[in-house]
Amino acid sequence: MIRTLFSFFSSLKLTFVLLCAAAVLVFAGTLAQVHLGLYSTQNQFFRSLVVWWHVPGTGWRIPVFPGGYTIGVLMLINLAVAHFRYYRAGHRKLGVALIHAGIVLLLLGQFLADLLQVETRLRLTEGQAKSYSENNRIAELAVMDTTDPATNRVVALPASWLARRQNMAVPEFPLTLRVLEHVENAQPVLAVAESNTVPVQGIGRQLRFKPQPGATSPDAPTIPAALLEVTGDGVLLGRWWVSTWLTDERLASMLGREAGAELRQALARPQDFTHAGRRYELALRPRRHYKPFAVELIDFRHDKYPGTDIPKNFSSRVRIRHPGTEENREVLIYMNHPLRYAGETYYQADFDPQDPRVTVLQVVRNPGWLTPYVACVLVSLGMALQFLTRLVPFVGTWRRA
């Protein structure tokens, strides 16, 4: 049994099949991207053990192909077992060992990058500075004590808790939250007197949130909303609607453009209340990643070829202010020229077609970003070494002949 498994996993036929499967998967994923979008395709085809087919008109799903993780892990096992089976130590095989080490590092590095990499976005308007970036695919419910004039004390709860509709005692604060309504993917509608079944405070007097009708793009992030009832030390303090419609700057900007002057003023006000002499605020918002430095947008340029609307260049001139290092410098970020800073890479990613002052930078934290480079160096060295170990004896023999 062990012998059979060993033969199977060290087989070159398996290598060939896996390479073909990888090619098919990449081809199918590329085609699927047109309909599913980049994010969903990556998750369904490459960050998965199995590719599922959802049978139309039913709730069934059938596994149709191995996913990226399965193929990657099998490749890794195949390479490792084949190396143990066929490799014989010696200076003439050092090149092969280096090539194998490079490929293993490449596979492991990509696997770890998939697990450890965090992608967030930093949206800035000219003149605006932020010391955080946001993950607009994951929401968090922030309960903040805003009494201190300088800083907020924040308890950030995962938004997934809202779906469970359980009561939650907020850690650190004398508050308890109860979810009265939860909408996974919401759209705002103007509230009228009878639209809320219970009295609400804050923005809920003007707006309430209902499920989005119809299907939305699988690649689009959901926009959650919830109606929360807050009690403090057993006393009902009120009920507030919270939603990323109110906190995600892009969505809030869209909502603001649609709203009248009175609603715009209401949108600008926080969902806040006072209890036991402390001031609190509720916000369902994209999950924030704070940094020990701030990035300020000085200038955003969207250059076009003269006389056309064809983009020529996008660039963001930003200022980095790091109080820990007293760093205060300007950096120009533009297409294919990201900023690498404090373990993160800032790419020019997007802009707001409605506002020429707004830039969107993609912020990627990938602890394994160096592994592909090291892997390529190892493979190149291995190939060169292997070539030379064959070439040198051959030249010697040829001269003697």
Give contact residues for another protein (rule: CB under 8 A). Answer: 2-3, 6, 73, 80, 84, 108, 111-112, 114-116, 118, 125-129, 131-132, 135, 138, 140, 146, 149-158, 160, 171-172, 249, 252-253, 256-257, 264, 267-268, 287-288, 290, 292-294, 296-300, 321, 323-324, 326, 328, 352, 354-358
Q: Please state the closest distance from residue 300 (CB atom) to another protein, in A.
A: 8
Q: Which is nearer to another protein, 329 or 399 (CB)?
A: 329
Query: Residue 40 burial (CB < 10 Å; 0-12/13-18/19+)?
Result: middle
Shortest Cβ distance from residue 388 to another protein (Å)?
29
Please give the DSSP secondary-structure letter assigned to residue 262. Answer: H
Q: Closest distance between another protein and the C-beta of residue 176, in Å?
A: 15
> Would you call 27 exposed, middle or buried from its count of C-beta atoms within 10 A (0-12, 13-18, 19+)?
exposed
b/e for 282-296, b at 16 or more Cβ within 10 A?
A: bbbbbbbbebeeebb
Please give the Cα distance from 113 to 102 (Å, whole number): 16
Name the minimum Å distance from CB 76 to another protein.
8
Q: Nearer Cβ to another protein, position 348 or 386? A: 348
Nearer to another protein, 375 or 385 (CB): 375
The amino acid at residue 321 is: R
322 contacts 292 by C-beta, under 8 angstroms = yes
- Least Å from the CB of residue 193 to another protein: 27
- Cβ proximity to another protein, 144 vs 200, nearer residue: 144
Contact, 247 vs 240, CB < 8 A? Answer: no
231 vs 253 by CB, closer to another protein:
253
Q: Which is nearer to another protein, 273 or 386 (CB)?
A: 273
| CB 161, min distance to another protein, A | 8
Residue type at position 28: A
Asked whether 67 and 50 are in contact (CB, 8 A), the reply is yes
**DSSP conformational letter for 343:** T
Nearest to 333 by CA among 306, 364, 366: 364
Give Rg (Cα) of the chain.
28
Cβ proximity to another protein, 1 vs 62, nearer residue: 1
**Closest approach of another protein to the CB of residue 201, in Å:** 19
